[in-house]
């Protein structure tokens, strides 16, 4: 590519990304503005669809300022529109001046993005024995179920509720995709800890519960009935698929 043409293209790209850059010479300003608006308008529409709660909650001027800054200054690692929402989450988490937006915004963005990412996931369920003893075998958790912990009440934030202080307790959320639909529900601390343990450790159900009892500082006898009920409930809901084949 001739160097002069490359310079012109880079100049055009810089201006379209950020109008503070000088525009290419010889092009009408009105046409350049229309061309830039087509690009930023598409990005804003995609982000508004991916983050409906944020879009509805932030004042319009703040939303547009955020989108324009993302468009102008963040360097995405993928050209795929389907992954744009994940890039926006990364932008918020890496932002140099977090005071530019509400403190709960990165977590709310991660929560909204997790729903769409799970909906689009092509994850294949792991091999498992569906006819099993969850206490003696190693439970296998579905790859279409995710447990998340947030410092801010992401399930409650919206136009009518924008907290300024973190609650004393975290918000524990289960996301699950079944039959093409993603749903979320609140988790009790013990249920959340059990799901995290199922993901992180290869143990029998009994060993998971014994370990949780030790961490919680309660007796195994006290925890066991609740733990067994939780495992069976997870199995009934398709969160736990069964147990691993063969040995642990």
Decide: 141 and 241 in contact? Cβ < 8 Å: yes
Which DSSP string corresponds to 36-81?
A: HHHHHHHHHHHHHHH-HHHHHHS-HHHHHHHHHHHHHH---S---G
Question: Between the CA atoms of 57, 97, 175 and 166, what dihedral angle is there, to the nearest 10 degrees?
Answer: -80
Say how many Å lie between the first and final Cα of the chain, rounded.
Answer: 59
What integer pLDDT is reported at residue 248 of this predicted model?
Answer: 52
pLDDT at 75: 87
pLDDT at 185: 94
CA distance 41 to 46: 9
When comparing pLDDT for 135 and 18, which is higher?
135
Q: Give the CA dihedral 100, 101, 102, 103, nearest 10 degrees.
A: -70
Given a cut of 60, is residue 1 above it in pLDDT? no
State residue 82's pLDDT score: 84
**What confidence score (pLDDT) does residue 118 get?**
94
Confidence band of 195 (pLDDT split at 50, 70, 90): very high
Report the half-sphere exposure of 200 (CA within 13 A, side-chain side).
10
- Residue 124 is given by DSSP the state P
pLDDT given at position 203: 94
Predicted confidence (pLDDT) per residue in 3-44, tens digit: 766 666 666 666 767 766 677 776 667 777 777 778 888 899
Please give the Cα distance from 242 to 211 (Å, whole number): 20
For all residues of the chain together, what is the average pLDDT? 89
Name the CA dihedral angle for 70, 76, 80, 85, rounded to a multiple of 10 degrees. -50
User: How far apart are the C-alpha atoms of 20 and 206, rounded to whole Å?
Assistant: 62
DSSP 134: T
**What pLDDT sits at residue 9?**
67
Compute the average pLDDT of residues 166-172: 96
User: All domains of the chain, ordered by start, with CATH?
Assistant: 1-101 (no CATH), 123-248 (3.90.930.50)
Q: DSSP letter at 154?
A: T
Over residues 153-172, mean pLDDT:
95
3 state SS of 186: strand
**pTM of model > 0.75:** yes
């Amino acid at each position: 590519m001739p160097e002069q043409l490359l310079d012109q293209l880079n100049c055009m790209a810089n201006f379209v990304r950020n109008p503070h850059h000088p525009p290419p010479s010889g092009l009408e300003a009105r046409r350049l503005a229309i061309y830039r608006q087509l690009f930023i308008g598409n990005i804003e529409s995609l982000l508004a669809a991916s983050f409906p709660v944020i879009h509805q909650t932030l004042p319009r001027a703040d939303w547009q300022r955020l989108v324009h800054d993302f468009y102008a200054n963040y360097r995405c690692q993928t050209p795929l529109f389907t992954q744009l929402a994940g890039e926006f989450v990364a932008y918020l988490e890496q932002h140099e001046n977090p005071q530019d937006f509400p403190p709960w915004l990165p977590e709310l963005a991660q929560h909204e993005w997790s729903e769409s990412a799970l909906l689009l996931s092509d994850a294949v369920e792991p091999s498992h024995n569906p006819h099993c003893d969850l206490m003696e075998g190693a439970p296998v958790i579905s790859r279409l179920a995710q447990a998340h912990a947030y410092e801010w009440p992401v399930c409650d934030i919206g136009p009518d509720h924008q907290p300024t202080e973190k609650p004393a307790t975290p918000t524990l959320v289960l996301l699950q995709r079944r039959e093409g639909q993603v749903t979320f529900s609140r988790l009790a601390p013990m249920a959340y800890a059990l799901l995290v343990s199922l993901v992180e450790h290869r143990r029998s159900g009994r060993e998971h519960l014994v370990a949780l009892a030790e961490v919680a500082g309660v007796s195994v006898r006290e925890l066991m009935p609740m733990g067994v009920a939780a495992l069976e409930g997870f199995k009934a809901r398709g969160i736990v698929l069964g147990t691993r084949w063969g040995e642990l």
